Amino acid sequence: MTTMTNRSEILFVYDAKDCNPNGDPLDENRPRTDPETGEATVSDVRIKRTVRDYLLSLEPDVEKRLAAGREILIRDTLKASGHLSEGKDRAEQFLAEAIKGKKTGEAKRQALETAVTQGCIDARLFGATLPLGKGEPSLQLTGPVQFSAFNRSLHRVTPTLVQQTAAYAGNATANQKSFAERWLLPYALIAAYGVANETAAQTTGITTEDFELLLKGLWHGTAALNTHSKMGHDPLLLVVADYQPGYRLGALPRRLSLNKTVDDTALRSTRDFQLDVGELLTAWCNYPQLVNLRVMQDTRLRCEANGQTDLFIQLVQQVQLPVTTLFV
C-alpha cells in the first residue's frame, strides 16, 4: 500500500431537503445556524460520523475489520459490565493484545499507537486521543485529514418546527395520541471543506487506499443517511485538488457563489440556482502548484463559469486544467 505523498484539498457540496443536517443538542436539537449570517452550519464531527458509519457498513464483522486494518476506533462499544465504554476502556480493548500487560509508560503508549494505527482506519484518517490511565501518557495522534470546524450552506436558511402525531399517548390516562415535534430545514446547499496533509500522513500511516475509502464515505455515506432526522441528503459535487507537497490553495467554499432565481430562504431544489465556480477555476488557473483535479458530480447540479453553464468537469476542461473522474 502507498502512503500519501501529495497534499490535497476536498470540496464536497451536498444538499439537505426537509431534514436536519446537524442538530444542536443544547438548543432543542435545532439545526445549527450562524446567528449573524443565517447560514446553516455542519460540524466536522458530523461529517466524520458519516464517513465512519459508511466504513462500518462495508463489513459488519469486527474481527474481519481488524484483520483488514479497517476497524472503527471511535464508535459505541460496551464494557463487560454492559455499560458504554469510556476512552480509557476503548484503549484497553486494543492494549490487551498489544502489550499482554508487560509494558508501562512510553512503551505502553507506543504499543497502543501501533495497534490503533494498524487496526483502525479512522485513526489513520482523523487521528485519535486516548487516555491510558492515571500517571500514564495519553495517546495523541494528529489526523492527516481534517474538515472545517463548521461547514456552511451557501445561502441563508430558515429552520422550521414541525408538529406530527406521535405513535403513542402522552400519558397513562390519555385517550388520544400526543404530538411530536422536530426541527428541520426546508432546503440547504452545504459546501464542506477538508485538507489531507501528507506530513501528518507519515505519522498515522494513511494510505492512498484509505483516502479513496474516505472519499467514497463522503459520497456514498451521505447518500445512505436514512435516519429520521437525516433522510433527505444528496451528494452533488465532490472535488479533490491534489497539489505539490506543502501547498494548498485554501478557502475553496468561499470562492463559490449561487446565481439564484429566488430568494435564499425560498430555495427548494437544484432547479432554483446555478453554482458559480468561475472564481474558483480562475484561482486554480493562477496556482502553478496544482497537480490535478478529481471530480464526481450529480448531473442535477448546474455549474456556471464565465457565462458558460455545464458540468463541473466540462468547465474545468474548458480552462485547460488537469482533471480526471473519481470513482463511480
Domain ranges of the chain: 7-56+146-325, 62-145
Q: Which of 115, 77, 82, 83 is nearest to 96 (CA)?
A: 115
The residue-averaged pLDDT of 110-138 equals 86
pLDDT band at 99 (very low <50, low <70, confident <90, very high): low
This prediction's pTM: 0.91
pLDDT band at 107 (very low <50, low <70, confident <90, very high): confident
pLDDT value for 13:
98
**Inter-residue contact 168 to 23 (CB < 8 Å):** no
What tens digit of pLDDT does each residue of 81-92 get?
655 556 566 666
Torsion of CA 245, 253, 310, 297, to 10 degrees: 70
pLDDT value for 106:
81
3-state secondary structure of 11: strand
Consecutive H or E run containing 125: helix 121-126
The residue-averaged pLDDT of 195-201 equals 96
3-state secondary structure of 76: coil
Q: Which of 164, 161, 152 is nearest to 11 (CA)?
A: 152
For the beta carbon of residue 79, count every other beta carbon within 10 angstroms.
13
What tens digit of pLDDT does each residue of 302-324 get?
999 999 999 999 999 999 999 99
